[in-house]
A and B are shown apart, each in its own frame.
Chain A
Amino acid sequence: MAINLSTLVNQTNPLQICKSWVNFNGSTATIRSSYNVSSITKNATSDYTVNYTTALTDANYSVSGSCQRNYPTQTGINPSVFSILASTSYNMITTTSVRIYTPTSGGFNEDPITVSVQVFGN
């Protein structure tokens, strides 16, 4: 039976669709592949901002992802997570961007060879 893909997409709850995703090199911040990402800003080692091409409706969205490091040349031993920092001076999660921090398990700054980020929400 033929399946009409556009019909399926239209029937899907928009909240179930990934609003933005990216795979980039943590050292150079070069984007390998992405959807709805206009740029990556490297603010410091382990500190990046993902900027969206089209803004999300609100900032109450979900961000997930992973980091990949070279073993054993990089020192991270639990490297697969990142944080979204809370700050009184800078909003880290907005409708137009999210700023992520990817330290090693020891809390040291080290650029992953791959950072992957996915965003779901409105």
Chain B
Amino acid sequence: MSQVIVYTNQTGSVSVCTPSSDVDIQIVLSKDCPAGAIIVDNNTLPQGSGVQFFDSWELNGNIVSVNIPKAKSQQNSNLNQLAYTENGHRAIKTLSGLTNVLSDSDWKTLLNISQAAIDNSTTTDELVAAIIPVQEAITANAAI
């Protein structure tokens, strides 16, 4: 079973140190990690959709889990990133005389729906699902 080293870093988030296969993890622990770092089995780290919220991981005792309020903030940033990028794409299409798949008002409505879905989420699966309609709309708009 593979193991990694985890610790709470200067920003309050979790750092995960993965040893090279040819170096003993105890050596890495003493050489590459600060005091207080601990060795855990890799499969005890958040799995599935929890992996996408690495920046929202927190270490309590020897358990790493996802801080949901922090994950919501992270997903809000992801939604803003998608909107920022797509708004530029939509503007270029408009300037080029092309029609966007969604009207401006429908696009804004979709963003608001995703925003509300993020706010109402209680799990990382729900947070991931909250922005899928936006991702699909972006893909559809890119295809034309």
Contacts and interface: CB of A to CB of B under 8 A. Distances in A.
Contacts of B85: 75, 106
B17 A39 contact: yes
B142 interface: yes
Contacts of B27: 38
A41 B17 contact: yes
A118 interface: no
Given A72-B142, A106-B81, A40 B18 contact: yes
A53 B51 CA distance: 28
Interface in A59-97: 72, 75, 89-90, 96-97
A114 interface: no
Nearest to A110: B81
Contact of A29 (B9, B16, B28, B82): B16
B60 interface: no
Interface in A23-51: 24, 27-31, 34, 37-45, 49, 51
A38 B31 contact: yes
Contacts of B31: 38, 51, 96
Contacts of A24: 18
A90 B51 contact: no
A39 B19 CA distance: 4
Contacts of B21: 31
A38 B23 contact: yes
Interface string B9-41: 111010111111101000110011100000000
Given A51-B31, A72-B142, A41 B16 contact: yes
B54 A38 contact: no
B55 interface: yes
Given A38-B31, A45-B54, A97-B32, A108 B81 contact: yes
Nearest to A42: B16
Contacts of A45: 54-55
B10 A42 contact: no
Contacts of B81: 75, 106, 108
A34 B17 contact: no
Interface of A: 24, 27-31, 34, 37-45, 49, 51, 53, 72, 75, 89-90, 96-97, 106, 108-109, 111
Given A72-B139, A96-B31, 6 more contacts: A31-B20, A39-B23, A40-B17, A41-B18, A45-B55, A51-B17
